[in-house]
Structure 1
Amino acid sequence: MSVQWTGPEGRVRPVVTAPANVLSSIGQEVDPTDPEIVALAADLVSTMRVSPGCVGLAAPQVGVGVQVFCVDVTGHPKAVTTNGTFVLCNAKIIEASRWRPGREGCMSVPDLTGDVKRAARVVVEALLPGTGEPVTITTDAFEARALQHEIDHCGGRLFLDRVAGAHAIYQRKVYL
């Protein structure tokens, strides 16, 4: 079964940045068949697609405190496994293994990156927007990292909450 996003085109929304309260609040679970959630899913995909280097975006990052996010690591140099563009609702990690450190950045923390230890293999259960169909995604490497990062957003956590300490936070390089 494909998890590929085939929903409507959405509108581009502004991305909120830390310390916005919505970024540190646990998102509400959603009814994935609600037309407002389907529209939000489309908006997340559209916003991700116009944002250079963005491989995932969660609803709290556009100011909506719910558990919905999109991911697409296609074409990223660190990607090994990819499921294309997909949107998940109420996602939960049910298995995580092979923990590895890696550098992360975030559109909601635009000036910093940090080293975060995450599972290199995950199994995630979620619901698809529109149909509410349950799905299980098993993935690894960079896509697994992106999923964990977005699930954290839905749980009110930023990557900065997971770094080992100040020594693992870096000023983002700016390329002109």
Structure 2
Amino acid sequence: MAILPIIEIPDPRLRQISKPVEMFDAELQTLIDDMFETMYDAPGIGLAAIQVGVPLRLLVIDLQESAEGSDEPGPKNPRVFINPEFSDPSDDLNIYTEGCLSIPDQYADVERPATVRAKWLDRDGKAHDELIDGLLATCLQHEMDHLEGIVFTDHLSRMKRDMLLKKLEKQRKQKRAA
């Protein structure tokens, strides 16, 4: 397994629409394993293939929820979503403070449907159809946006987006100067 470089905004590849996965081969399995290792190293709870420069409809998620009253990450529950689709978004909305490995150390409140029906293939090509809610629904929608060339800042007002991107640029300048 390998830790892959995560591409960051404003890299134009993040605006690409990803293509469906057609081959379930050893190369795909290696990419999935590398994506998990990259996500855990970052650290994050979700990663789309395009974020590591691969324009395929593939994403990995592990919410790593902590046990109640503990700050330690919980048991790993890695989930692979290949060619995911969702439908039936609820009218109920959740607001969650989102971040993104492609927009490091920047966070903003994003409103999304509280539940969605998702269909996807797992790493073995087995089909799944599930009603998803909570943080998993938010994370899945965030990562699926990447497959369509959308980043979470696209859900913000122009003023909030501009402020966030200015903070990111200031942070990058400080890192370069250090």
Structure 1 length normalisation: TM-score? 0.80
Given that residues 32 and 132 in structure 1 are in contact (C-alpha distance below 8 angstroms), is that contact kept between their aligned partners in structure 2? no
- In 2, Cα distance between the equivalents of 1:74 and 1:137? 20
Report whether the alignment pairs 1:106 with 2:100. Answer: yes
What is the aligned residue count?
A: 158
Match of 2:131 among 135, 138, 161: 138
Given that residues 27 and 65 in structure 1 are in contact (C-alpha distance below 8 angstroms), is that contact kept between their aligned partners in structure 2? yes
Q: How far off its partner does 1:111 sit?
A: 4.2
Q: Which has the higher contact order (CA 8 A, sep 6+)?
A: 1
Q: Which runs of 5+ in 2 are unaligned?
A: 68-74, 172-178
Kindly, what percent of the aligned residue pairs are identical?
A: 30
* SS of corresponding position for 1:96: coil
The root-mean-square deviation of aligned C-alpha atoms, in Å, is: 2.3
Match of 1:73 among 48, 52, 63: 63
Q: How far off its partner does 1:94 sit?
A: 1.8
Report whether the alignment pairs 1:19 with 2:10. Answer: yes
Q: Which runs of 5+ in 1 are unaligned?
A: 1-9
Q: How far off its partner does 1:32 sit?
A: 5.0
Report whether the alignment pairs 1:88 with 2:86. Answer: no
* SS of corresponding position for 2:149: coil
Match of 1:151 among 126, 141, 144: 144
- In 1, Cα distance between the equivalents of 2:66 and 2:102? 20
Which structure has greater helix proportion?
Answer: 2
Larger Rg: 2
